[in-house]
């Protein structure tokens, strides 16, 4: 009797398939077999690309004469410590009674590559091969994936892009690492007095990421702080007829405007401060000549503002938030969410999408209903179900099939909640973060009332006024915001996470101007939490005069760029080297980034392991090491293109085009070989060792200071 063979990526996933299929057969060495099905597994990669010496022994010795190394046909071999499992899988693939093979490796480019290599080495013939593509490991989803499995040939383009990605990393890594090591490794060793030739590790993505960190560190290092001085006026509302509204103070910030003595003055730092303290003091003295000092309300604008729930989590966004909240690395976040996935609590984690598919949206009530068993969100989930808040989700920005390539966003499955009891506190919190983000998209926006005040204080006539310039007027501005309806915020807030962020910040010491801005915002928010103050704002009218009780100078200074944290680096990699703080803008411009959601954390980890970068485990701030800066200088002087995020992202985009069938693998491979050969020839012509000594000295000076 013929049987179907299911091949998973690891034993735990194979067991989930066995459970879903009710395959209660004997567990043998490396597989499970029942009357109708056989289920086996890989242990990650079983097959890898062969080293150059497998092509010819001469390639074992690193030599410039053997570069560039560009084989016409690539060789592969079984990984030695996986040989036993490979033999088991290979024999099962070729068993005469197996007529259908279900490919159940991870549903993505890398999972496809793992199976294709095994099938290639095992010599699978003309057997029927079906691809199971799933978004979670729940029983329903596994059975759906099997039911709807497509012919494996429909994934040939994805497979081609996977092979090309591996070839690209292989060719760039081997050629450029050998090339730069042979040309510059000894030079670095001599400079560092390390006594042995420094091996320079180069990678398509890795080198680019290292470059981003080094450039940012040098921007911070070269930044010259500029002091500036702002003038703050404290105004008071006085109303004898309504004593409950009297005596309430608020601050307004002076800004240069037409009519000001300092309008378009060269003494200004931007429009709201001065380059030197003496001009701020001069302004205060001029205003103090008026007795009593007062300001006239020139305008008061009231408008409502809505704040929509953010898009759902993809892996990069989750890694960034977990870096801020818990001070854990992207690699650790991936481990946490992978555990949640394997326990059936969340959907597939290695995704770039932040939206749901139309098909999933139609069944989303099941996920929500399941959360009624999760105590922190039980009430919210019940409310969404009872009010039917999920019924219109398909018409919102949270559902968009065009923004999904392999998998939709990370969301709770609503199943497996019994496993929560066995989770570590950290894993439990990561689950809550994902669940709160998910449930919040079914709630309405938060609604705020915004007040924008402009007050004008008289100073007397301006000497030699410009045409149409109103003399003797200085302008102060104040902005306030009060929440009218909490909307999604009542379920989105993770109080322990918010407190941790406030306590610890982003790992960088705040600059003085940032700190003052935060203090002002906090003070304003405290006022907005006072109903009497909000009521007072509502009574202000244009033309009303308010006492100007005092004028103060707030000193600040410009801030250097922020160093990358592990989380912000993941976001920068996702957006081709741009760290875009605004979440909405990130969603709008998102394209192909550097690396993939599955590889970014591992790349950062490797750069730290080889001592090119250093990660502060408490703050998650990333800085380069001296060795990392020297490698950067070598690459910058030899193969500068490897440091270009846009170019690196374009390679990734090219792989996407192959997966989509827009370009052929042959076209991509030709471009790759030309790039490797051209850059190799260029480096062989260089003679710039002496020039590098100067830049090494410049970098080393900063590390000598630290000793």
pLDDT in tens, 571-630: 999 887 565 556 555 454 455 678 888 889 999 999 999 999 999 999 999 999 999 999
Residue the block writes with tokens 């846009």: 646
For the chain, the structural domain boundaries read 3-148, 164-223+562-706, 227-308+447-490+506-557, 315-442
**Which of 236, 270, 230 is closest to 254 using CA atoms?**
230
Q: What CA–CA distance (Å, rounded) separates 103 from 659?
A: 18
Closest CA to 517 of 560, 554, 480: 554
Please give the pLDDT value at position 428: 96
- Look up the CATH architecture of domain 3-148: 3-Layer(aba) Sandwich (3.40)
Nearest to 109 by CA among 168, 181, 50: 168
Measured CA to CA in angstroms, residue 208 lies from 497, 631, 692 at distances of 32, 11, 20
Integer Cα distance of 383 and 226 in angstroms: 52
CB 295 within 8 A of CB 233: yes
**CA trace torsion 632, 633, 638, 639 (10° rounding):** 30
Note the pLDDT of residue 519: 42
Cα(611)–Cα(605) distance, integer angstroms: 10
> In whole angstroms, how large is the CA radius of gyration of the chain?
31
CB 75 within 8 A of CB 54: yes
CATH number of 315-442: 1.10.290.10
Distance CA 566, CA 601 (A): 9
Mean pLDDT of the chain: 90
Res 588: pLDDT: 46
Please check the confidence at residue 355 and state whether its pLDDT lies above 90: yes
- The pLDDT confidence band at residue 647, using thresholds 50, 70 and 90, is confident
CB-based contact 17:8 (threshold 8 Å): yes
Angle between helices 645-660 and 156-180 (to 10 degrees): 150
Q: In the Cβ-directed half-sphere of 380, how many Cα atoms lie within 13 Å?
A: 25
What is the residue-wise DSSP string for 346-415? B--SS----SB-HHHHHTHHHHHHHGGGSGGGHHHHHHHHHHTTTTTGGGSTTB-GGG-SS---B-B-S-
pLDDT at 405: 79
Are 364 and 328 within 8 A, CB to CB?
Answer: no
What pLDDT is recorded for position 215? 96
Q: How many angstroms separate the CA atoms of 309 and 325, rounded?
A: 19
Is residue 567 within 8 Å of 620, Cβ to Cβ? yes
Whether 659 and 158 have beta carbons less than 8 Å apart is answered as: yes
Instruction: Tell how strand 47-49 and strand 294-307 pair up.
Output: unpaired
11-34 pLDDT per residue, tens = 999 999 999 999 988 889 999 999
Distance in angstroms (rounded) separating the CA atoms of residues 629 and 606:
16
Q: What is the pLDDT of residue 216?
A: 96
Residue predicted with more confidence, 243 or 190: 190
Angle, CA of 663, 666 and 671, to the nearest 5°: 85
Closest CA to 629 of 188, 148, 51: 188
Mean pLDDT, residues 61-81: 97
The residue behind tokens 């490796």 is 105
| Residue 707 predicted with pLDDT over 70 | no
**Do 410 and 349 touch, CB atoms closer than 8 A?**
yes
CATH of domain 227-308+447-490+506-557: 2.70.20.10
Q: What angle do CA 571, 575, 581 make, to 5 degrees?
A: 55
Residue among 507, 562, 520 nearest 213 (CA):
562
CA distance 38 to 470: 87
| CA 656/CA 653 separation, integer angstroms | 5
pLDDT band at 200 (very low <50, low <70, confident <90, very high): very high
Query: Residue 12 to residues 16, 32, 39, 154, 342: CA-CA distances in angstroms?
Result: 7, 12, 11, 27, 8
Q: How many CB atoms lie within 10 A of CB 442?
A: 25
Which of 360, 464, 375, 445 has the alpha carbon at shortest distance from 417? 375
Q: Is the pLDDT of residue 463 over 80?
A: no
Q: Please state, as a whole number, how many other Cβ atoms lie within 10 Å of the Cβ of residue 105.
A: 23
Token match 């069944």: residue? 363
With tokens 């101007």, the residue in question is 513
Q: Is the pLDDT of residue 464 over 80?
A: no
- Under a CB-based contact definition with an 8 Å cutoff, are residues 302 and 450 in contact? yes
Element (H, E) at 78: strand 76-78
> Is 628 in contact with 645 (CB distance < 8 Å)?
no
pLDDT exceeds cutoff 60 at 537: yes
Quick one: pLDDT at residue 592? 60
Q: Region 32-39: what's the mean pLDDT? A: 95
Say how far apart CA 108 and CA 103 lie, in whole Å.
Answer: 12
d(CA 167, CA 142): 32
Q: Give the model's confidence band at 83: pLDDT under 50 very low, under 70 low, under 90 confident, else very high.
A: very high
CA–CA gap between residue 580 and residue 201 (Å, rounded): 29
**Could you report the per-residue pLDDT of 266-312, keeping only the tens digit for each?**
999 999 999 999 999 999 999 998 888 999 999 999 999 999 999 99
- Region 334-352: mean pLDDT is 95
Distance CA 247, CA 530 (A): 14
**Beta-bridge mates of residue 232:** 253, 552
394 and 361 Cβ atoms separated by less than 8 Å:
yes
Q: What percent of the chain has pLDDT over 90?
A: 79
Fold entry, domain 164-223+562-706: Topoisomerase I; domain 2 (1.10.460)
- Rounded to the nearest angstrom, the gap between the alpha carbon of residue 199 and the centroid of all alpha carbons in its chain is 30
Question: Cα(352)–Cα(597) distance, rounded to whole angstroms?
Answer: 6
* CB 42, CB 10: distance < 8 Å: yes
Helix axes of 425-440 and 495-504: crossing angle, nearest 10 degrees: 110
**How do residues 100-146 score in pLDDT, each as one tens digit?**
999 999 999 999 999 999 999 999 988 999 999 999 999 999 999 99
- The mean pLDDT of 434-456, rounded to a whole number, is 97
pLDDT at 593: 78
Antiparallel, parallel or unpaired: β 268-269 and 273-274: antiparallel
State how far the Cα of 545 lies from the Cα of 298, in Å rounded to an integer: 10
């Amino acid at each position: 009797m013929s049987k179907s063979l299911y091949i998973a990526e690891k034993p735990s996933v194979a067991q989930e398939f066995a459970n879903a299929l009710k395959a209660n057969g004997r567990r043998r060495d490396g597989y499970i077999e029942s009357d109708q099905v056989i289920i086996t597994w890989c242990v990650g990669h079983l097959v890898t690309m062969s080293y150059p010496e497998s092509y010819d022994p001469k390639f074992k010795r690193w030599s410039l004469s053997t570069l560039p190394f560009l084989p016409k046909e690539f060789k592969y071999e079984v990984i030695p410590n996986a040989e036993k499992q490979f033999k088991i899988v290979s024999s099962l693939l070729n068993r005469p009674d197996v007529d259908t093979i279900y490919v159940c490796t991870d549903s993505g480019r890398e999972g496809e590559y793992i199976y294709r290599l095994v099938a290639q080495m095992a010599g699978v013939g003309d057997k029927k091969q079906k691809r199971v593509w799933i978004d979670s490991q729940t029983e329903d989803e596994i059975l759906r994936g099997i039911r709807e499995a497509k012919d494996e040939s429909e994934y040939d383009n994805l497979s081609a892009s996977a092979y090309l990605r591996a070839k690209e990393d292989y060719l760039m890594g081997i050629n450029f690492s050998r090339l730069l090591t042979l040309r510059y490794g000894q030079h670095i060793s001599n400079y560092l007095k390390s006594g042995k030739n420094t091996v320079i590790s180069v990678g398509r993505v890795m080198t680019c990421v290292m470059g981003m960190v080094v450039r940012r560190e040098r921007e911070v290092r070269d930044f010259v702080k500029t002091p500036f001085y702002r003038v703050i006026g404290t105004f008071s509302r006085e109303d004898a007829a309504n004593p409950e509204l009297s005596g309430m103070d608020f601050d307004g910030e002076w800004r240069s405007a037409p009519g000001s003595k300092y309008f378009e003055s060269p003494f200004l730092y931007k429009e709201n401060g001065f380059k030197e303290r003496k001009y701020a003091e001069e302004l205060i003295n001029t205003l103090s000549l008026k007795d009593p000092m007062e300001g006239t309300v020139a305008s008061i604008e009231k408008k409502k503002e809505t704040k929509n729930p953010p898009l759902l989590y993809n892996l990069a966004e989750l890694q960034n938030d977990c870096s801020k909240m818990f001070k854990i690395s992207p690699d650790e976040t991936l481990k946490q969410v992978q555990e949640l996935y394997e326990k059936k609590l969340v959907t597939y984690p290695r995704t770039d999408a932040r939206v749901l598919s139309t098909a999933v949206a139609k069944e989303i009530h099941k996920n929500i209903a399941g959360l009624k068993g999760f105590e922190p969100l039980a009430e919210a989930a019940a409310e969404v179900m009872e009010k039917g808040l999920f019924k219109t989700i398909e018409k919102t920005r949270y559902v968009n099939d065009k923004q999904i390539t392999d998998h939709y966003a990370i969301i709770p499955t609503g199943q497996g909640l019994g496993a929560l009891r066995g989770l570590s506190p950290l894993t439990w919190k990561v689950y809550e973060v994902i669940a709160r983000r998910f449930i919040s998209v079914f709630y309405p926006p938060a609604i705020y009332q915004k007040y924008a005040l402009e007050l004008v204080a008289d100073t007397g006539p301006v000497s030699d006024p410009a045409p149409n310039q109103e003399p003797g007027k200085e302008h102060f501005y104040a902005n306030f915001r009060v929440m009218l309806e909490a909307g999604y915020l009542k379920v989105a807030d993770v109080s322990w996470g918010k407190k941790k962020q406030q306590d610890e910040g982003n790992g960088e010491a705040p600059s003085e101007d940032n700190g003052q801005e935060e203090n002002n915002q906090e003070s304003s928010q405290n006022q907005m939490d006072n109903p009497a103050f909000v009521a007072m704002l509502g009574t202000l009218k244009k033309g009303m005069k308010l006492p100007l009780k005092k004028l103060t100078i707030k000193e600040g200074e410009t801030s250097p760029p922020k160093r990358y944290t592990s989380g912000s680096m993941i976001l920068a990699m996702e957006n081709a080297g741009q760290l875009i703080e605004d979440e909405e803008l990130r969603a709008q411009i998102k394209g192909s980034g550097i690396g993939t959601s599955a590889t970014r954390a591992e790349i950062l980890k490797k750069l730290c392991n080889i001592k090119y970068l250093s990660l502060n485990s408490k703050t998650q701030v990333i800085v380069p090491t001296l060795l990392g800066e020297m490698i950067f200088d070598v690459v910058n002087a030899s193969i500068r293109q490897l440091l270009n995020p846009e170019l690196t992202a374009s390679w990734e985009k090219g792989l996407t085009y192959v997966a989509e069938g827009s370009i052929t693998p042959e076209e991509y491979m030709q471009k790759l070989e030309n790039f490797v050969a051209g850059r190799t020839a260029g480096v062989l012509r260089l003679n710039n060792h002496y020039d590098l000594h100067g830049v090494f000295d410049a970098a080393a000076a900063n590390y000598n200071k630290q000793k």
